[in-house]
Amino acid sequence: MPTEVAPQGRVYFIGAGPGDPELLTLKAARLIRAADVILYAGSLISPDVLRDAAATAEIHNTAGMKLAEQVAVMVDAARAGKTVARLHTGDPSLYGAIAEQMRELAAAGVACTIVPGVSSAMAAAAALGIEYTLPEETQTLILTRLAGKTPVPPTEALAGLAAHRASMAIFLSTGMIDRVVDELYAAGYTPDAAVAVVFRASWPDEKIIRSTLGEIGGALQRAEITHQGLIIVSPALRPAATDPARVSHLYGSAQEPPPRAASTAIIALTRNGAATGLRLQAALPDAILYAPQRFLSAEDAGRANVRPYAIAVRQVLQDAFMAHSALVCIMASGIVVRELAPLLRSKHSDPAVVVVDEAGRHAVSLLGGHLGGANALAQRVADLLGGTAVLTTASDTQGAPALDLLGAEWGWQIEQAGHLTAASAALVNGEPVGVWQEAGETAWWPATPPANLRRYDTFEALLAARPAAALLITPRLLADSELRALPAAVVYRPPCLVVGVGCNRGASAAEISAAIDATLAEAGLSAAAVRCAATVEDKRDEPGLLAACAERGWPLQALPREQLAAVPDLPNPSPAAQIALGVPGVAEPAALVAAGAARLLVEKRKYTNVTVAVAQVVHEENR
């Protein structure tokens, strides 16, 4: 009697779509229901995609399986006549690594079929509300990635592809966003070019970040996105290319930090902790003390800033976390960690949390050391209680400056923020970090700087040294080639420029703004470094000038004629101003007086109805 041979099974490489199970194709859903064996790519596949799988199906998460193990499962199942569903995120033909699997299956004599799926590139376009192929803008969509562990052919380098100015969906590259930005700069893109990142497109926790090329690194850092994001560069992202009603905000309301009062909560748990809390609250009268009702006297419980509680401390901690900008928790750190962990979102939005033992001997900065202010709060609490502050951030333990807070007290703005992590790592790991400062306060420099932190007198000297990271404190615009020569350069913009403005009566805001922009651009200066505008008192109510300053958020100093008249030796005196106002000029002397400077950084530039000059504030320590 002949032996019966079981019919050969088949392996289906199925596109499981970007995440939303409703984006599965009908064929994909049918095959999943019919499959005897299912292999899926771990957390990249939504669990809801598998909800209709047969109860008898053998299901394998391939996240921890090597290629040989996966192939063995598929070959054995197919040879037993079973239907195998191999699920890949998006469409399996895009970065699905199916070629290796198909080659091994073919060698084993197992048949396979590819079932297309909806790519995350399409889901990202849907989330952004854009069309990749805009008439007269671009009719091409480039799907690519940055070279990482998987190399990219030199002919497909991102800079070369980007030069076409087509729409681009850049996969698997959010963790290398600084390199992406550098490649796009090399292709001729400018810092104000629109870019978007869609994180986990179509998933319930999808995030959309709209930004510019110059700011996207910082935006991703704040959102803490390093993977599972798709970078979109397209003409369709420009505001004029889409219906304004469909343009999203940077984040939805679900991503906005909760409104918190600028206040400190002191939370005690034990009798001794309540006593320490009362002692601390007496020294911090604006702080609010939360303590168990049974440990407070009637007098203490009746105080205005004391909140007795009789509920679980978990609820008190979580409520305070959402309501206050700083928490001092007088209890075991383990309690605080366990109860607050579900609420943690980002170091950019979480409040400062300090933990104090009930005797007040140690104040530990637990959360938000730098940006949240917990390190400073821990030090203050320790001083008030006669204890010791415990700071664990690497820069503080090494006596190094906190780069994300550098100059914050003086209003410095940070550019190239995407390099902060790399620069901070270089600083605390002992790698050479160079500093070039030509403007702004110098009081940030440590009394005993780390050995690997070195100042350079000129930018050229810093470039020649080629440190692992660089801190550039300047109002000057730097060329892309200069920045690319420094692998981890963070640019700080101290508000050190004063823009002197003179204008004819009735000059429009647009004309004044255009003159200011042209002057700064010609001089290679950043508008982010402007402290204020200055003019003569007669122009204090000039509508166009007021509107131009308001648009930029610049204060306007309207200076008395006497002060302007007292400025000697102007490079470009104005006979017209002397006749009309009795002063030798407006733009030049106004800039000098408001900046407290002796010479101009940019002499007067004259336009049809506007004059502009620029001076740099000289700080006392730099005189």
User: How many CB atoms sit inside 10 A of residue 618's CB?
Assistant: 15
The whole-angstrom separation of Cα 355 and Cα 86 is 49
The 3-state secondary structure of 369-433, one letter per residue:
CCCCCHHHHHHHHHHHHCCEEECCCHHHHCCCCCCCCCCHHHCCEEECHHHHHHHHHHHHCCCCE
For 447-493, the pLDDT digits (tens) are: 888 889 999 999 999 999 999 999 999 999 988 888 888 888 999 99
Residue 394 has a pLDDT of 58
The whole-angstrom separation of Cα 78 and Cα 82 is 5
The whole-angstrom separation of Cα 90 and Cα 513 is 47
Return phi, psi of residue 413, to 5°.
Answer: -105, 150
Q: Contact, 361 vs 382, CB < 8 A?
A: no
Cβ neighbours for 90, distance < 8 A, ≥ 6 positions apart: 15, 16, 17, 18, 96, 117, 118, 119, 120, 121
- Strand order across the beta sheet in which 556-559 lies: 556-559, 530-536, 497-503, 610-616, 602-606
* One-letter identity of residue 406: L
Provide, rounded to the nearest whole percent, the portion of the chain with pLDDT above 70: 94
Provide, rounded to the nearest whole percent, the portion of the chain with pLDDT above 90: 67
Closest of 357, 374, 359, 281 to residue 290, by C-alpha: 281
Question: Which pLDDT band holds residue 250 (cuts at 50, 70, 90)?
Answer: very low
For 301-332, the pLDDT digits (tens) are: 998 899 999 999 999 999 999 999 999 999 99
Please name each of the domains of the chain with its CATH number. 10-118 (3.40.1010.10), 121-254 (3.30.950.10), 261-392 (3.40.50.11220), 408-491 (no CATH), 497-622 (3.30.420.180)
Q: Contact, 154 vs 127, CB < 8 A?
A: no
Sign of the dihedral defined by the CA atoms of residues 80, 83, 85, 86, in that order: positive
CA dihedral 306, 312, 314, 319 (to 10 degrees): -50
Closest of 378, 380, 351 to residue 363, by C-alpha: 378
In whole angstroms, what separates CA 212 from the centre of its chain?
11
**Which one-letter DSSP state was computed for residue 90?**
B
Two tokens, residue 566: 């007292």
Tell me if residue 498 falls in helix, strand or coil.
strand
Q: With a cut of 70, say whether residue 245 has pLDDT above it.
A: no
Residue 244 has a pLDDT of 42
Q: What is the mean pLDDT of residues 552-576?
A: 93
Whole-angstrom CA distances from 316 to 309, 332, 414, 571 are 8, 15, 36, 66
The whole-angstrom separation of Cα 576 and Cα 581 is 8
Q: With a cut of 50, say whether residue 249 has pLDDT above it.
A: no
Residue 174 has a pLDDT of 92
Q: With a cut of 70, say whether residue 99 has pLDDT above it.
A: yes
Closest of 198, 186, 206, 207 to residue 237, by C-alpha: 198
For 436-454, the pLDDT digits (tens) are: 999 999 888 888 888 899 9
For 328-382, the pLDDT digits (tens) are: 999 999 999 999 998 888 777 889 999 999 999 999 998 887 777 888 899 999 9
Closest of 304, 306, 282 to residue 292, by C-alpha: 306
Which residues are registered as beta bridge partners of 388?
A: 362
Closest of 345, 351, 453, 366 to residue 402, by C-alpha: 453
- The H or E element containing residue 219 is helix 216-223
What is the average pLDDT score of the chain? 88
Residue 321 has a pLDDT of 93
Question: Which pLDDT band holds residue 395 (cuts at 50, 70, 90)?
Answer: low
Residue 150 has a pLDDT of 83
Q: What is the mean pLDDT of residues 138-147?
A: 92
Q: What is the mean pLDDT of residues 399-415?
A: 82
**Which one-letter DSSP state was computed for residue 536?**
E
Q: With a cut of 70, say whether residue 246 has pLDDT above it.
A: no
Which residues are registered as beta bridge partners of 201?
A: none
Q: What is the mean pLDDT of residues 178-196?
A: 91
* One-letter identity of residue 461: A
Whole-angstrom CA distances from 421 to 83, 402, 426, 494 are 48, 11, 9, 21
The whole-angstrom separation of Cα 458 and Cα 134 is 47
Two tokens, residue 583: 């002063």
Closest of 234, 229, 216 to residue 142, by C-alpha: 234
Cβ neighbours for 333, distance < 8 A, ≥ 6 positions apart: 355, 364, 366
Residue identified by tokens 């080659």 is 103
Two tokens, residue 523: 């001089």
